[in-house]
Amino acid sequence: MTPNNARPHSSFLVALLAFACGSIDPHASDTADSGGTPASVLLPLAAGNRWTYRVTDGDDVETKNQVVGELEPVGGSGPNASVVAFRMTTTRGVDGSNETVSWQAAVGARVVRYREQAFNATSGMLDIEEHWDPYKLRVDQAEEFLEDGASFLESYDETKLVPGMESTTATRGDRWTVLAASESVTVPAGTFDAVKLMRVSSSQGAVKTYWFAQNVGKVKEDGGQLEELESYEVSE
């Protein structure tokens, strides 16, 4: 089974179709109040949930922490400013000075990201802000999209805002493929049965592979750098 999904914009249609390499079928409603209960909870979002990762980039090894905060409006200047989502804070480095804040939510069976801010590790000032229309997918938890070989295309508008510069907006496309519906993966936090997913960006050709374990979250990420789960606290 190879379900496909896309909402291509006319100016980007040819490139997206070439990248899709297959038929494109519409996905279920993507609005914030869309229904549908995921068969698996691959990224549990609840205030207080936290994950710690070991990040290896060449010879450099550091710690990355992610904490889910309270629900609040996404804010910013994007189309989802009034949408209520979880505020997720990500810190890296020994002193946690490298900080990123994003606003994420469950939309039906999907976990999505609406907006993100990255701050300078030295000054603490905002380096860059991004928002997405309608959103940027983190993981689709629907049963029909978690079978071996399942593949679908996501398209969205990405706006980047750098302080002191004009904002830029471009249409992006990500091809998601299920490499394994069930694979055993061992990381410092233990051994997990995980769904193995690959995401290929049509705009940059970047390839990332993710392992998500049910009721745990992301346990491993590979692509550019390696992230491995060291510990986690997730409410049942």
Task: Give pLDDT, residue 85.
Answer: 98
How confident is residue 37, by pLDDT bands cut at 50, 70 and 90? low
Q: Which tokens hold the place of 108? A: 């039906």
Task: Give pLDDT, residue 112.
Answer: 98
Q: Is the pLDDT of residue 26 over 80?
A: no
Q: How far apart are CA 20 and CA 6, in angstroms?
A: 9
Q: Is the pLDDT of residue 54 over 80?
A: yes
Q: Among residues 198, 230, 223, 210, which one has the least CA distance to residue 57?
A: 223
Q: Is the pLDDT of residue 127 over 80?
A: yes
Q: Among residues 178, 213, 210, which one has the least CA distance to residue 193?
A: 213
Q: Do β-strands 151-161 and 126-140 pair in parallel, antiparallel, or remain unpaired?
A: antiparallel
Q: What is the pLDDT of residues 67-76, one digit of tens each?
A: 999 999 999 9
- What residue ranges do the domains of the chain occupy? 10-233
**Radius of gyration of the CA atoms of the chain, in A:** 17
CATH topology of domain 10-233: YmcC-like fold (2.40.360)
Task: Give CA 64 to chain center in angstroms.
Answer: 16
Q: Is the pLDDT of residue 179 over 50?
A: yes
Lowest-confidence region among 11-25, 125-139, 174-188, 213-227: 11-25
Task: Give pLDDT, residue 39.
Answer: 67
In the block, residue with structure tokens 């399942």: 150
Q: What is the pLDDT of residues 97-112, one digit of tens each?
A: 799 999 999 999 999 9
Lowest-confidence region among 39-43, 104-108, 120-124, 148-152: 39-43
User: Position 50: which residue type?
Assistant: R
In order, the DSSP letters of the chain are ---------GGGHHHHHHHH-S---PPSP-STT-----SS-SS---TT-EEEEEEEETTEEEEEEEEEEEEEE--SSSTTTT-EEEEEEEEESTT--EEEEEEEEEETTEEEEEEEEEE-TTT--EEEEEEEEEEEEEEE--GGGSSTT-EEEEEEEEEEE-TTS--EEEEEEEEEEEEEEEEEEEETTEEEEEEEEEEEETTT--EEEEEEETTTEEEEEEESEEEEEEEEE---
Q: Is the pLDDT of residue 30 over 50?
A: no
Q: Which tokens hold the place of 150? A: 């399942």
In the block, residue with structure tokens 């998601």: 176
Task: Give pLDDT, residue 194.
Answer: 98
Mean pLDDT (the chain) is 86
